[in-house]
A and B are shown apart, each in its own frame.
Chain A
């Protein structure tokens, strides 16, 4: 939040400085424009160094605030992008872990089908009943691994929200430089996003530890 406020202040400063530069350059144009061709050339030239010095000072000031803006934006952007990157890595790792768990469970279930066939071929109804129950538990357990889908969706929504925020900030900066002068158009808002709700801290990790905290609070 602090970085956002500093970045906004710097952006306003930059804009104000650029407007001063624009005013100074307009004055310079007025004094040396074609309408002044018949005026006192010496008087115009005498004032030129002072005007150039003023323009130089303003440009220098504008560059300094732009550098500060860049540093502030860089700091915020890097921090946010690191978070996004970490979230995306977690999505990748959670997906792989769930896939491995499901494959392991399926391997065990297939082995149980073989065992079931063998028990039935031998007419061992007691063992076949036990294997059937174990297989049922195994297959049911596999369903639980699919919870990763809900958690990774929340992580992806979080990453997406950061990218949208960055897009909005870049558009704010782009608008300061009046892109229409270069024949470019900057939309007023970032691309439309459907309403989603997510927990920025959603994770598949340490569920038992987190549940223990809940149990402790609930007593």
Chain B
């Protein structure tokens, strides 16, 4: 299973990728903002983990852009962000995000959310 990890913070990308490797997901590709993620996305990507606040294109716009593509309409998207007010969470759901993690997070929470999303889409 290939993960696309999107965050403008290189530290955060590294933390997420290390956490993924620790739970057995070693195939990862990374992007520094939403636009780069759109460019790097292809049908081989089976899970997207994205930050919200990024220059050029936000995680929210990335989710909308992927949902508008035939090859991205069903890809699981997990938002990992500092934003945590009700309106933001609802906006993320409306944009097509499958689940949501508040930063700072623990690796356990990341694993739980990935499992939840994969179960929901029937890929677990």
The yes or no verdict on A and B being binding partners is: yes
Q: Which of A149, A196, A218 contacts B11 (CB 8 A)?
A: A149
Q: Compute how far the CA of A213 lies from the CA of B92 in the bound complex, rounded to whole angstroms.
A: 14
What's the Cα separation between A148 and B90 when bound, in Å?
25
B102 touches which of A144, A150, A198, A210 (Cβ 8 Å): A210
Binds A, one of B39-47, B65-73, B78-86: B78-86
B58 within 8 A of A: yes
Report how far A148 CA is from B7 CA in the complex, Å: 14
Q: A199, B53: Cβ atoms under 8 Å? A: yes
Please give me the residue from chain A that is nearest to B112 by CB atom. A215
Number of residue pairs A-B, CB distance < 8 angstroms: 84
Q: Which residues of A contact B107 (CB under 8 A)?
A: 140, 144
Q: Mark B71-110, 1 if CB is under 8 A from A, else 0.
A: 0000000000111111001100100000111111111010
Chain A residues near B12 (CB-CB < 8 A): 147, 150
Contacts of A46 in B (CB 8 A): none
Kindly state whether residue A217 has any CB partner on chain B within 8 Å: yes
| A side interface size, CB within 8 A | 27
A204 CB contacts on chain B under 8 angstroms:
104
A1 within 8 A of B: no
* A202 & B105 in contact (Cβ 8 Å cutoff): no
Partner of B82, one of A203, A213, A217: A203
Interface size in chain B (residues, C-beta < 8 A): 34
Check A213/B56 contact, CB under 8 A, given A140-B107, A144-B15, A146-B15: no
| Contact flag A211-B105 (CB < 8 Å), given A199-B81, A202-B82 | yes
Tell me which residues across on chain A come within 8 A of B82, comparing CB atoms: 150-151, 154, 199, 201-203
Residues of B within 8 Å of A207, CB to CB, are 102-105
Whether B28 sits at the interface, judged by CB under 8 Å, is no
Binary per-residue interface labels of chain A (122-153) against chain B in the complex, 1 for a CB within 8 Å, 0 otherwise = 00000000000000000010011011111101
Q: B residues touching A (Cβ–Cβ < 8 Å)?
A: 7-9, 11-12, 15, 18-19, 22, 52-56, 58, 81-86, 89-90, 93, 99-107, 109
Counting from the closest, the 5 A-B pairs by CB-CB distance are A210-B84, A202-B82, A147-B104, A150-B9, A197-B53
Binding site for B on A (CB under 8 A): 140, 143-144, 146-151, 153-154, 195-199, 201-204, 207, 210-211, 213-214, 217-218
